[in-house]
């Protein structure tokens, strides 16, 4: 239990970032991102729980490749995955005007195997595959605010995104990898522990949002340096 008490507050900070990132990435719009046939350098005949040791490039390298594959792109999330029997990194890249791209990078050579067409935020928000329930929860969370206050909240969340992108690729990759590992730990908590941490996350979110972009970036960098 001691380990959980130490690491969960850190995970909450990372969770804030992921919530923001996923609000800008259509993770549920799978139809728009059907990957064509690819051929990678590392074959994974049977998917196991842990194939990370087989990757020959780091997540930060795959994120850099993805950014170079999309004009004015910024890598916002990524994960090691198996696609069509090959070990790859799947990277979400946000370009100008909230245009989202999905990039598949060979985990052995670093070669970009697939770059999706861009999908605008407006398009995926109205897609039949989009997560309408999450959007409803967001509206319900700020239901008591005036329209002007809600606009301020939207701006503040956008600044969290800007703060995240102000980090270096290595810093962003480190945060993403940490969050992925802590997600497993969070799922092992009891319902009561989860509810307590959700409340803690809500309070921390409200404390983070009013900060300037520079202050938000500093907080995120402090978190990364604490890992």
pLDDT in tens, 180-225: 777 777 778 888 887 887 787 777 777 888 999 999 999 889 888 9
Q: Where in the chain is the domain with CATH 3.10.450.40?
A: 31-119
- The CB density around residue 133, as the number of other CB atoms within 10 Å, is 9
Contact assessment for residue 76 and residue 30, using Cβ atoms and an 8 Å cutoff:
no
Please list, residue by residue across 202-213, b when 16 or more beta carbons sit within 10 angstroms of its beta carbon and e when fewer do.
Answer: eebbeebbebeb
pTM here? 0.76
Digit-coded pLDDT (tens) for 7-41: 334 444 455 555 555 555 554 444 446 788 999 99
State which fold the 31-119 domain adopts. Nuclear Transport Factor 2; Chain: A, (3.10.450)
End-to-end CA distance of the chain: 19
């Amino acid at each position: 239990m001691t380990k959980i008490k130490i690491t969960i507050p850190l995970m909450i900070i990372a969770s804030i970032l992921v919530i923001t990132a996923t609000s800008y990435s259509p993770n549920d719009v799978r139809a728009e991102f059907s990957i064509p046939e690819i051929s990678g350098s590392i074959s994974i005949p049977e998917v196991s729980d842990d194939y990370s040791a087989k990757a020959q490039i780091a997540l930060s390298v795959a994120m850099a490749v993805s950014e170079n594959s999309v004009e004015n792109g910024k890598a916002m999330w990524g994960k090691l995955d198996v696609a069509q029997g090959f070990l790859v990194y799947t990277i979400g890249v946000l370009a100008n005007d909230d245009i989202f791209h999905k990039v598949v990078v060979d985990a052995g050579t670093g070669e970009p195997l697939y770059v999706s067409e861009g999908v605008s935020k407006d398009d995926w928000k109205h897609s039949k595959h989009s997560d309408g329930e999450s959007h409803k929860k967001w509206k319900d969370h700020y239901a008591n605010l005036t329209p002007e206050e809600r606009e301020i909240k939207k701006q503040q969340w956008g600044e969290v995104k800007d703060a995240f992108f102000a980090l270096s690729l290595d810093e962003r990759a480190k945060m993403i990898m940490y969050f992925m590992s802590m997600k497993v730990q969070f799922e092992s908590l009891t319902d009561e522990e989860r509810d307590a941490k959700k409340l803690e996350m809500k309070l921390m979110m409200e404390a983070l949002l009013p900060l300037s972009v520079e202050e938000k970036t500093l907080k995120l960098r402090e978190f990364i340096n604490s890992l």
